[in-house]
Structure 1
Amino acid sequence: MNTYESICKELDVLTVSYFDKLNEYNQQWTQAGESLQKGFVDLAHAKYTMGPRTISRFSYDERMKALLQVEIDDQDMITKKKATEPEEIVSEKEGLKKRNKEIVSEKEGLKKRNKEPDEKEAMKLDDAKKAKKRTGDPLYWFGLFVSPSLRQSQGHFKSATELLIIQVNRVRELQQMEKRYEDLQQQKIASQLEKTTIKDEE
């Protein structure tokens, strides 16, 4: 197989691959759009059930940090960065419980040391620890018991964000393929001219 034929073959393979990736690109855009749409619908429903004042910019934690981070490599490709554990936010009430080693009986007015917490108290402490970990989730900025619609909305937005990261990389791949296609076209023309020149000389 001569140079001209090999270039033509590579162009054919590249064209098929390009349209396959373009088809995936369009499908993922549709999926991302649907996820965003569902996210906004669920968010609107959560505002309706929980109240517009509960879900507003006034509920945002000013110490917020992104749970999803990305890295860009030398090829301008984006990858998800390993998520860091969110800081645990302990409420004032829970902090007082943790520091208080004595349980005061309101009825009897007696103090007793809690050296060996019983099973129920151990379960309460375990639940408190789990609650602290959950507070790292931005959902709990809006209350301990959030609307299921708000949780679903968060899931849809997460899904859409991850799809958009894939789409950015897909655009980069398509651009590289387009550039390669143009280079091959130039090589094809040059090879064809060279072939024609040789025939004329003969």
Structure 2
Amino acid sequence: MAETAAGSKPSPTPAAPAAGALQALCTQLDDHVVQLFLELEQLEGKRAELNARVEEGWFSLSKTRYAMGAKAVSPLQYSSSMAPLFRVCANEPEPGRPEFEVVFTKVGSPKESSPKEDQGVIDGEPKSESPVLRRRQQSHASPPQPTPPTPATETSVEQDPLTWFGILVPQSLRQAQGSFRAALLIAGEIAGLQSRIEWERAQIQALLQEKRKLLEQMMVE
């Protein structure tokens, strides 16, 4: 009877590999869940910091408009030609997990001719000459060949946007610029965090499906 009873008991060896796989799967799932909560906490702090920086920037800008006048700090002072001072770099270290980084770029380099040279020459002749002297020179020499004018926007050097509002701007305007720059950098970090959170959620969903399938196989066995 004892031998019969002992022989009727199922062997625990077939379920051992499944139990080990289930334990490893649960460990991976726990790691992803903990990482997800940590990134959600970081995202909440970054959003609060972003809102604080934007509020500081608008408050400093309001102080500047109060000191200089609403018309002195408005879109009317914007330059006709603008160049971005920030660019966003994106890479994908893992499939489906893009990373973003906001990088500060330097101003553009000057062209071959300078604006001072363009201002001192009109149709290939100096500005300082009088019309009478110009007519005398043209009577003894051959007529000059017309040269295509160079646009000032192509030869001008990109400057700090603060110079659009004057040379000596208030300190509050510089503080507003610094606050908005910091907000841009934080926005890049928030975009990276949101991307990692979405990737963590996708990993958790995949692990849960795999765990469900493994449990169904163990129940069938």
Shorter-normalised TM range: 0.7 to 0.9
**Does residue 72 in structure 1 map to residue 94 in structure 2?**
no
Where 2:98 maps in the other structure, the secondary structure is coil
- Between the aligned partners of 1:196 and 1:62, the Cα distance in structure 2 is 72
- In 1, Cα distance between the equivalents of 2:109 and 2:73? 21
Correspondence for 2:133: none
Q: TM-score normalised to the size of structure 1? A: 0.72
Aligned to 1:194: 217
CA 1:82–1:53 in structure 2 vs 1: closer, same or farther (change >3 Å)? closer
Question: Counterparts in 2 of 1:16-165, with a 5 A limit?
Answer: 16-74=34-92, 75-81=97-103, 83-86=105-108, 136-165=159-188
**C-alpha distance in 2, partners of 1:153/1:91?**
30
User: For residues 26-55 of structure 1, what are the alpha-carbon distances to aligned partners after superposition, in whole Å with 9 as ceiling and x for unaligned?
Assistant: 000000000000100000000000111111
Q: CA RMSD in A?
A: 2.3
The share of aligned pairs that are identical, in percent, is: 21
C-alpha distance in 2 between matches for 1:63 and 1:76: 32
Kept in 2: contact 1:14–1:177 (CA 8 A): yes
- The size of the alignment, in residue pairs, is 160
Does the C-alpha gap of structure 1 residues 10 and 27 become closer, same or farther in structure 2, counting only changes over 3 Å?
same
Alpha-carbon distance in structure 2 between the residues aligned to 1:22 and 1:73? 22
> Which stretch of structure 1 is more off in the superposition, 138-147 or 1-10?
1-10
Structure 2: gaps of 5 or more residues: 1-18, 121-155
8 A Cα contact 2:85 2:104, kept in partner = no
The ranges of structure 1 where at least 4 consecutive aligned residues each deviate by more than 2 angstroms after the TM superposition are 71-77, 79-82, 84-88
Partner of 2:146: none
Structure 1 residue runs without a partner (length 5+):
97-131
1:2 aligns to what SS in structure 2? helix
Q: Secondary structure of 1:73's match? A: strand
TM-score (norm 2): 0.66
